[in-house]
A and B are shown apart, each in its own frame.
Chain A
Amino acid sequence: MTDIANTLTIDGRTISFEPGQTIMQAALAAGVFMPHLCYNPEFKPHGSCKLCTVTVNGRPQSACTIAAMPGQEIQSDTPELNGRRRVLLQMLFVEGHHFCPGCEKSGNCQLQALGYEMEMLSPHFSHFFPDRGVDATHPDVMIDFGRCIMCELCVQASRDVDGKNVFALAGRGLASHVVVNSPSGKLGDSALEVTDKAVEVCPVGAILRKRVGFAVPIGERIYDHDPISVKALEPDEA
């Protein structure tokens, strides 16, 4: 078909890719970390958090949704792009309630880990303090809507893996929020089970299992010893 080699460059480093891979997939497979939150290798790319925004031949693109093509020149780990990522993280922090010291997910949270990775020192912007509430009606699972980052991984997991459609995203703009598929709108009345993929997949502390809080103590958690840029490249880690 073509004799052009399936290679591209990321920050000057040449890597090979398989046809059909996205830039994100090619990068991770080649051991190049690209910051991401809504992307999970097990699911269809969502492309909403925009942390993986890179420039492809000078144009900004989401690495998780754009196909890898021969000869692409990609910039990712640059002061300017990391500066943008820091602003995006700050936006996510002030949009919801992300108070790490009081969150059970601390140490296992990808938002927090990326905050460290991108050297985010403060939320910078004024907090929006949304009133999205908490739903603790389910016997085994709780959801703190204020921590949701609208990645829709729970929506995808529940629909495509669990076959249940427990979650959906509703609202518009800053009023976007997750809704639960049950007559009362409450988690307790939904088909969700604690073993569902949708419970496991939340990258932040929005969906939490009950009664297992701090079973793994702070200090021994996923991102406590190695940063997310290392953990994300380990084969068994999302």
Chain B
Amino acid sequence: MHKPRMSGRETTLSDHPSKGGNALQAILEKNHFNPTRLVQILREVQDREGWLSEITLTDIAQGLSLPISRVRSTANFYSFFYTRPVGQYRVLFSDNITDRMQGSTQLFEHMLARLKLTENQTSADGAVSVARTSCTGMCDQGPAMLVNNRAVTRLTPRRVDEICDLIKAGLPLSSWPNYYFKIENNIRRRDVLLSANWDPGEALRAAIARGPQGMLNELKLSNLRGRGGAGFTTAIKWEAARTAPGTARYVVCNADEGEPGTFKDRVLLQRYPGHVFEGMTIAGYVIGAAKGFLYLRGEYSYLLEALEAHLDGLRRSNLLGQNICGVEGFNFDIEIHMGAGAYICGEETALIESLEGKPGKPRIRPPFPVTYGYLGQPTTVNNVETLCKTLEIAINGGAEYAGQGTKQSTGTKILSVSGDVELPGIYEYPFGVKVSQILEDCGARDVQAVQVSGAAGICLSPREFGRRIAFEDVPTAGSFMVFGPKRDMFEMARNFAHFFAHESCGFCTPCRVGTSIISNIMDKIAAGHGTQYEMNELGRLTNVIRGSAHCGLGTASCNAIADTVQKFRATYEAKIRPVDFEPSFDLDKALAKTRAVAGRDDADAHLETSVGAH
């Protein structure tokens, strides 16, 4: 029986091998047979075929004159590429701690039960598979899921039931109710950036009037620092990329917003795409680049069409293309690259690797992208919000910009507020705002903890709520997750431990192996088998991983555990057993297969001594 495709297309490449060859050829042609576009090609082919078979990968390798191993290497790296058949409806539940706080675990189990599936299993008719994925950036309107990469928000038991019915009926996504896919902006507090009403091109013309060096000088005056978390001074980055030797220069906008709890870039891209593209164009003007890439995380693919349309509009009004705004020789255009489910691609060198069609593994630094970036050329990689902020500087000048915020952290910062609050959403504040102020504004009461800057960030306890959001105090990429009095902070740390084990790129030993060992230890404690021994192990492993991991993902992977052990130790102690040691090996669990063969799962089929048997 033939089931309709989710995309609404009635055929697949594999259904019609001869046509399939043509379709693949068309995709390769559209991508100019360019191996650097491999991630894009794999995504486009998979959109048609549903998954990437070995035959398809071989055809792609031949078409691009690449070794098949290279194509396998890339296809195997990204979570959203499937080298085994998956359901025609691929359901992925967002598994951030905020989704869990909104009841996603129960919904997930409910859906599995209704469809009579286990996690990651594809139904016998090939129609559906259900699994979990890292935070999809819908924390203010969760729990959320992705169905064939389309975000569905505000899940309820009823909505999950409806979705099960739609899947069973085989209805394509295009016939599902529109409101399932509605994504709110939820802008709650506006400051300079979110209340600006600039005309398209206004900031770019202002930058052109200042000249590349003049704009750079204003940028220096402004002391604008990167909004992606690291806080590197933008002017230094741009100047280095402008002056480094190279045959071409590139501007990259990092829209791989994967930090759990962050969604401000999604709102900027949905509500203010013109600001983002104009910021990229200003960057191109200053550093002398002719090409820019927007690297958009795969979870936000719903934005792609609108963004492409916006780019077309900019080209028509000569805000992109040749001799932009009538400036002779100022040529700049923007290409959108989609990610495919890899948190690590938010790291700028991993992102560049991905742009080149490779697995997103962080490079050895130095050299830094400003001298050796995309294709080995000078490249500036900036966060979505950072680029938007350059518009303010172009229009108002650096001095005015620097008047807001604190001395070391100038301007405003957009926060993504979620968790136990009345008004989740986007809040723009001048840097230096107190955590307590934000909590008051978003309607948070009896707060137990705030996790600032995502899984890699810092966990604040109430005694720290007087601290300020600023690079010199509590730095943040924007995530601000609030935990009410009944939440178990151990569960947050455990959720993040799983997140890092899942997202580790696997390049270096401490992160590849260490994050999985830690995640297993956290599971052991959660199951009631932990002792003081495990607590000591967490401390020891944290020290090793922080002291030897290759990139920021690795070094930050133990932050939440270290913070919660220090500040919320009682929750750990309530779980650990007062014995010296308990083995990891669970005899009762090991007998699961035997029970399955015997068709039994009653109490007598379990070992009495097992602590885990409930």
**Could you mark each residue 56-95 of chain A with 1 if its beta carbon is under 8 Å from any beta carbon of chain B, else 0?**
0000101001000000000000000000100110011011
A60 touching B548 in the complex, CB below 8 Å, given contacts A50-B510, A172-B504:
yes
- Chain A residues near B502 (CB-CB < 8 A): 173
User: Does B77 sit within 8 A of A, measured CB to CB?
Assistant: yes
| Inter-subunit contact A48/B508 (CB<8 Å) | yes
| Inter-subunit contact A165/B504 (CB<8 Å) | no
A150 touching B73 in the complex, CB below 8 Å, given contacts A87-B541, A173-B505, A174-B501:
no
| Inter-subunit contact A168/B508 (CB<8 Å) | no
CB distance from A128 to the nearest CB of B (A): 7
User: Does A182 sit within 8 A of B, measured CB to CB?
Assistant: yes
CA of A174 to CA of B498, assembled, Å: 12
| Closest residue of A by beta carbon distance from B554 | A50
- Chain B residues near A47 (CB-CB < 8 A): 364, 508, 550
| Inter-subunit contact B509/A173 (CB<8 Å) | no
| Inter-subunit contact B512/A125 (CB<8 Å) | no
**Could you mark each residue 59-95 of chain B with 1 if its beta carbon is under 8 Å from any beta carbon of chain A, else 0?**
0000000011110110111110000000000000000
Range for the number of chain B residues in contact with chain A: 35 or more
User: Does B359 sit within 8 A of A, measured CB to CB?
Assistant: yes
| Inter-subunit contact A173/B504 (CB<8 Å) | yes
**Could you mark each residue 480-517 of chain B with 1 if its beta carbon is under 8 Å from any beta carbon of chain A, else 0?**
00000000000000000000011111111110111111
A172 touching B359 in the complex, CB below 8 Å, given contacts A88-B509, A150-B512, A165-B70:
yes
| Inter-subunit contact A91/B69 (CB<8 Å) | no
| Closest residue of B by beta carbon distance from A64 | B364
**Could you mark each residue 169-182 of chain B with 1 if its beta carbon is under 8 Å from any beta carbon of chain A, else 0?**
00000000000000
- Chain B residues near A137 (CB-CB < 8 A): none
| Inter-subunit contact A91/B72 (CB<8 Å) | no
- Chain B residues near A30 (CB-CB < 8 A): none
| Inter-subunit contact B544/A181 (CB<8 Å) | no
CA of A183 to CA of B68, assembled, Å: 7
User: Does B9 sit within 8 A of A, measured CB to CB?
Assistant: no
CA of A60 to CA of B77, assembled, Å: 28
- Chain A residues near B54 (CB-CB < 8 A): 185
CA of A149 to CA of B507, assembled, Å: 10
User: Does B560 sit within 8 A of A, measured CB to CB?
Assistant: no
- Chain A residues near B509 (CB-CB < 8 A): 48-51, 88, 91-92, 95, 149
- Chain A residues near B543 (CB-CB < 8 A): 84
| Inter-subunit contact A172/B548 (CB<8 Å) | no
| Closest residue of A by beta carbon distance from B513 | A91
CB distance from A29 to the nearest CB of B (A): 21
- Chain B residues near A88 (CB-CB < 8 A): 509-510, 544, 548
| Inter-subunit contact A169/B73 (CB<8 Å) | yes
Candidates A45, A48, A91, A181; contact of B507 at CB < 8 Å:
A48
| Inter-subunit contact A183/B58 (CB<8 Å) | yes
| Inter-subunit contact A95/B512 (CB<8 Å) | yes
User: Does B540 sit within 8 A of A, measured CB to CB?
Assistant: yes
Candidates B364, B512, B549; contact of A174 at CB < 8 Å:
B512
CB distance from B371 to the nearest CB of A (A): 14
CA of A125 to CA of B329, assembled, Å: 61
- Chain A residues near B513 (CB-CB < 8 A): 91-92, 94-95, 128, 174
CA of A88 to CA of B509, assembled, Å: 7
CA of A175 to CA of B550, assembled, Å: 18
| Closest residue of B by beta carbon distance from A91 | B513
A179 touching B73 in the complex, CB below 8 Å, given contacts A47-B364, A174-B516:
yes
CB distance from B546 to the nearest CB of A (A): 8
User: Does A167 sit within 8 A of B, measured CB to CB?
Assistant: yes
| Inter-subunit contact B503/A168 (CB<8 Å) | no
| Inter-subunit contact A173/B514 (CB<8 Å) | no
| Inter-subunit contact A168/B69 (CB<8 Å) | yes
| Inter-subunit contact B548/A170 (CB<8 Å) | no
- Chain A residues near B507 (CB-CB < 8 A): 48, 150
| Inter-subunit contact A167/B69 (CB<8 Å) | yes
CA of A94 to CA of B67, assembled, Å: 31
User: Does B195 sit within 8 A of A, measured CB to CB?
Assistant: no
| Inter-subunit contact A172/B549 (CB<8 Å) | no
User: Does B547 sit within 8 A of A, measured CB to CB?
Assistant: yes
CA of A122 to CA of B67, assembled, Å: 40
User: Does B520 sit within 8 A of A, measured CB to CB?
Assistant: yes
- Chain B residues near A49 (CB-CB < 8 A): 508-509
| Inter-subunit contact A84/B544 (CB<8 Å) | yes
CA of A13 to CA of B79, assembled, Å: 48
CA of A167 to CA of B515, assembled, Å: 26
| Inter-subunit contact B67/A165 (CB<8 Å) | yes
| Inter-subunit contact A50/B505 (CB<8 Å) | no
User: Does A53 sit within 8 A of B, measured CB to CB?
Assistant: yes
Interface centre among A45, A179, A185 (most CB of B within 10 A): A179
User: Does B197 sit within 8 A of A, measured CB to CB?
Assistant: no
CA of A50 to CA of B550, assembled, Å: 8
User: Does B609 sit within 8 A of A, measured CB to CB?
Assistant: no
Candidates B364, B504, B510, B540; contact of A45 at CB < 8 Å:
B364
- Chain A residues near B517 (CB-CB < 8 A): 91, 94, 125-126
| Inter-subunit contact B72/A179 (CB<8 Å) | yes
Interface set, chain A 6-64, CB cutoff 8 A to B: 45, 47-51, 53, 60, 62
| Closest residue of B by beta carbon distance from A94 | B513
| Inter-subunit contact A170/B77 (CB<8 Å) | yes
- Chain B residues near A175 (CB-CB < 8 A): 506
CA of A95 to CA of B501, assembled, Å: 13
CA of A171 to CA of B508, assembled, Å: 13
- Chain A residues near B510 (CB-CB < 8 A): 50, 88, 91
CA of A65 to CA of B547, assembled, Å: 16
CB distance from B302 to the nearest CB of A (A): 24
User: Does B584 sit within 8 A of A, measured CB to CB?
Assistant: yes
| Closest residue of B by beta carbon distance from A50 | B548
**Could you mark each residue 521-543 of chain B with 1 if its beta carbon is under 8 Å from any beta carbon of chain A, else 0?**
00000000000000000001101
A-B contact pairs, 25 of them (CB 8 A): A48-B507, A49-B508, A50-B510, A53-B548, A84-B544, A84-B547, A88-B510, A88-B544, A91-B509, A91-B510, A92-B509, A94-B513, A95-B513, A128-B516, A150-B506, A166-B69, A168-B73, A169-B73, A170-B359, A172-B504, A176-B512, A179-B73, A179-B76, A181-B67, A183-B68
* Interface of B toward A, CB cutoff 8 Å: 54, 58, 67-70, 72-73, 75-79, 342, 359, 364, 501-510, 512-517, 520, 540-541, 543-544, 547-550, 584-585
* Interface of A toward B, CB cutoff 8 Å: 45, 47-51, 53, 60, 62, 65, 84, 87-88, 91-92, 94-95, 125-126, 128, 149-150, 165-176, 179-183, 185
- Given A84-B548, A150-B512, 19 more contacts at CB 8 Å? A47-B550, A49-B508, A49-B509, A53-B547, A60-B547, A65-B364, A84-B547, A87-B540, A88-B544, A149-B509, A165-B67, A168-B73, A170-B73, A171-B76, A171-B506, A172-B342, A173-B506, A173-B512, A174-B516
